[in-house]
């Protein structure tokens, strides 16, 4: 049986926990998605991040192994893997992709925009 004092303490601790996890500044390990109407630049950057994550999963690489291959720190790599595209320029992401993929595997195609469905396959 929980005494009223400890029950109140648990509620206070739980409230503090909720405040901490709901704080917008506490967004580590959050998978980002594209905004509702993404620009072509945002789509390109997002797709590169997704391809890098897919490469890691397909090759069973740890974060440390992948970071070493593309010469990034672990925090920077996590920003790529969680698709924090606003933190990277397109050319910087292309450099990382070039470290993993044969240059002939990287191509840019301009097409009419389509409604993109979320792909949970490579969610981290």
CB 83 within 8 A of CB 49: yes
**Can you tell me the distance from the alpha carbon of 89 to that of 54, in angstroms, rounded to the nearest whole number?**
20
Question: Residue 121 class from Cβ within 10 Å (0-12 exposed, 13-18 middle, 19+ buried)?
Answer: exposed
Q: pLDDT value at position 17?
A: 76
Contacts of 74 (CB under 8 A, 6+ apart): 63, 64, 67
**CATH number of the domain where residue 67 is located:** 1.10.260.40
User: How many domains would you assign to the chain?
Assistant: 1
CB 83 within 8 A of CB 95: no
Q: What is the tens place of the pLDDT at every residue in 29-49?
A: 567 788 889 999 999 999 999
Mean pLDDT to the nearest integer, 84-106: 88
Residue of 94, 35, 41, 45 whose CA lies nearest to 70: 94
Domain assignment of residue 11, yes or no: no
Model pTM? 0.65
Per-residue CA distances from 15 to 1, 2, 20, 85 (Å)? 21, 18, 9, 32
Q: Which residue has the tokens 């050319």?
A: 91
Mean pLDDT to the nearest integer, 18-33: 64
Q: pLDDT value at position 21?
A: 59
Give the range of the structural domain holding residue 90, as residue numbers without chain letter. 30-122
Domain assignment of residue 9, yes or no: no
Q: Which residue has the higher pLDDT, 101 or 1?
A: 101
Domain assignment of residue 41, yes or no: yes
Domain assignment of residue 102, yes or no: yes
Q: Which residue has the higher pLDDT, 118 or 43?
A: 43
Per-residue CA distances from 118 to 3, 21, 35, 104, 121 (Å)? 46, 24, 12, 27, 9
**Can you tell me the distance from the alpha carbon of 32 to that of 82, in angstroms, rounded to the nearest whole number?**
6
Domain assignment of residue 5, yes or no: no
Domain assignment of residue 100, yes or no: yes
Q: Which residue has the higher pLDDT, 29 or 15?
A: 15
Mean pLDDT to the nearest integer, 67-88: 94
């Amino acid at each position: 049986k929980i005494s009223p004092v400890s029950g109140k303490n648990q509620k206070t601790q739980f409230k503090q926990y909720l405040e901490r996890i709901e704080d917008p500044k506490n967004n580590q390990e959050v998978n980002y998605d594209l905004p509702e109407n993404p620009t072509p630049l945002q789509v390109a950057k997002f797709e590169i991040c997704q391809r890098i994550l897919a490469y890691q999963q397909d090759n069973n690489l740890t974060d440390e192994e992948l970071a070493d291959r593309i010469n990034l720190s672990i925090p920077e790599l996590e920003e790529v893997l969680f698709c924090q595209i606003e933190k990277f320029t397109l050319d910087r992401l292309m450099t990382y992709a070039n470290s993993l993929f044969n240059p002939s595997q990287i191509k840019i195609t301009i097409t009419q925009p389509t409604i993109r469905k979320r792909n949970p396959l490579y969610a981290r």
